[in-house]
Amino acid sequence: MKKPLALILIAAMILCLNGCGSGNAVKESSKASAETKAVEAEAAQATAKAAPETTLAVIATPSVPELILKYGEVNPEGNFDTKVAEKFAEYVYELSNGRIKVDIFPGGVMGDEKTSLNSLRTGNGLLDLYRVNTNVLTGYGFKKLNLFGLPYIFRSREGMWKVLENEELGRAFLNEGQEIGTNMVGLFYTDEGARNIFTTEPIKGLADLKNKRIRVPESVLMMDTMSALGAQPIPMRYEDLYSALANGDVEGGENPIPGYLSNRFYEVAPYYLLSEHVFSPGIIMMSERKWNTLSKEDQNILRQAGKMASEWNKKEIVSVEESLKKEMVEKGVTVIPLTREEEAEARKDEEIVRVSFTPGLEKWLYKIIEIQK
């Protein structure tokens, strides 16, 4: 009888131990479950707090812009003028909180200069904005803006910016397109650098340009400017210049340093004369028809973004040009500076151009000269 009793006692002890262990396990499980629920609750609260911020962010920066504007540029990607366009687009996007987007079309993919300006004038919707050099606008009825394209009208880069940033002159010249009915609105200016002459054959100075066939924009002003230097101006589309140089149809061209390099003209015309015969600014024009569809708020955004892009341009162009001059030498370009005597002679030769393009504009010409003193 003793043996069964002992077995019963042992079994009871085992059951007691198992019961105690199970109780502890239940307590530990309950504790873990409670901790998990607490963490989940905290996460839920954090999500709830973040939700309004996320919603606001979506509202502030819409995934799809309300307005898309098309901006044409004759120069390719990587060119300084194209970078200015990209800066403008960046500022427009930021100032509008993503409501307005500017798409850049470089390399003349939306048409040559005439086609692009025609798009703005007719408001056909192919382009909304286009950067054009002021010396090209002579054929579109502009008068005041022609002064910016006159040879040696600006004493220096600093002199040019003094004029462009002058409240009276800068705004008056930007508004000319609307005043004379061109259906184009001037938004802001760019500094493309001074225009210089490059040739396919070696030259030593201005005297060597005599009778050389030099491509110029399709502009009477630029044709007269080049003629005054003794060369034979050949008006031609910018897009055709490289092949014309390579084929010998022309013996040279003229372009600021950024355009000369980005379009690889050094491959066929490696002699670059620092004539600085024209220091005309670029101007971003907009279709007036498109402009009139915008609210005052959006018009102000575009003007403010343009001002910011112009300021960025002014800060960056000097260092960019210095870097590009070094690159030119590395690529085997022969850079030829003008002597003081040559510059004085060139300025004298170009006086006839100034006289022929300024009748009736003497007041404005006087102001441009006075501001630079």
Query: Which domains does the chain show, CATH number per domain?
Result: 67-192+281-323 (3.40.190.170), 195-278+325-349 (3.40.190.170)
Report the percent of the chain where pLDDT is more than 70. 83
286: β partners: 129, 185
Higher confidence at residue 27 or residue 84? 84
Position 61 scores a pLDDT of: 57
Higher confidence at residue 106 or residue 8? 106
Ranges 4-8, 94-98, 206-210: which has the least confidence: 4-8
pLDDT value at 338 more than 80? yes
Mean pLDDT over the full length of the chain: 86
Q: In what order do the strands lie in the sheet with 213-216?
A: 232-235, 213-216, 252-255, 195-199, 271-278, 334-337
Position 55 scores a pLDDT of: 35
Higher confidence at residue 360 or residue 53? 360
Through-space distance between the first and last CA atoms of the chain, rounded to whole angstroms: 129
- Chain segment 251-270, per-residue pLDDT in tens: 999 999 999 999 999 999 99
Position 62 scores a pLDDT of: 60
Q: Name the pLDDT band for 336 (thresholds 50, 70, 90).
A: very high
Burial-class residue 269 by CB neighbours within 10 Å (0-12, 13-18, 19+): buried
Position 280 scores a pLDDT of: 86
Position 135 scores a pLDDT of: 83
Q: How far apart are CA 348 and CA 33, in angstroms?
A: 93
Pairing of strands 213-216, 282-287: unpaired
- Mean pLDDT for the stretch of residues 311-340: 96
- Mean pLDDT for the stretch of residues 200-223: 96
> Which residue has 């990209």 as its token pair?
86
pLDDT value at 49 more than 80? no
- Chain segment 119-170, per-residue pLDDT in tens: 999 999 999 999 999 888 888 889 999 899 999 999 899 999 999 999 889 9
- Mean pLDDT for the stretch of residues 41-60: 41
Position 60 scores a pLDDT of: 52
pLDDT value at 79 more than 80? yes
pLDDT value at 50 more than 80? no
Q: Name the pLDDT band for 58 (thresholds 50, 70, 90).
A: very low
Q: How far apart are CA 303 and CA 62, in angstroms?
A: 22
pLDDT value at 244 more than 70? yes
Give CA torsion, residues 77, 83, 86, 91, to 10 deg. 170
pLDDT value at 181 more than 50? yes
Position 100 scores a pLDDT of: 98
pLDDT value at 16 more than 60? no
Q: Name the pLDDT band for 29 (thresholds 50, 70, 90).
A: very low
CA 78 vs CA 83, 86, 106, 261, 266: distances in Å:
7, 10, 9, 10, 16
Higher confidence at residue 11 or residue 226? 226
- Mean pLDDT for the stretch of residues 283-312: 98
Position 87 scores a pLDDT of: 98
Higher confidence at residue 56 or residue 241? 241
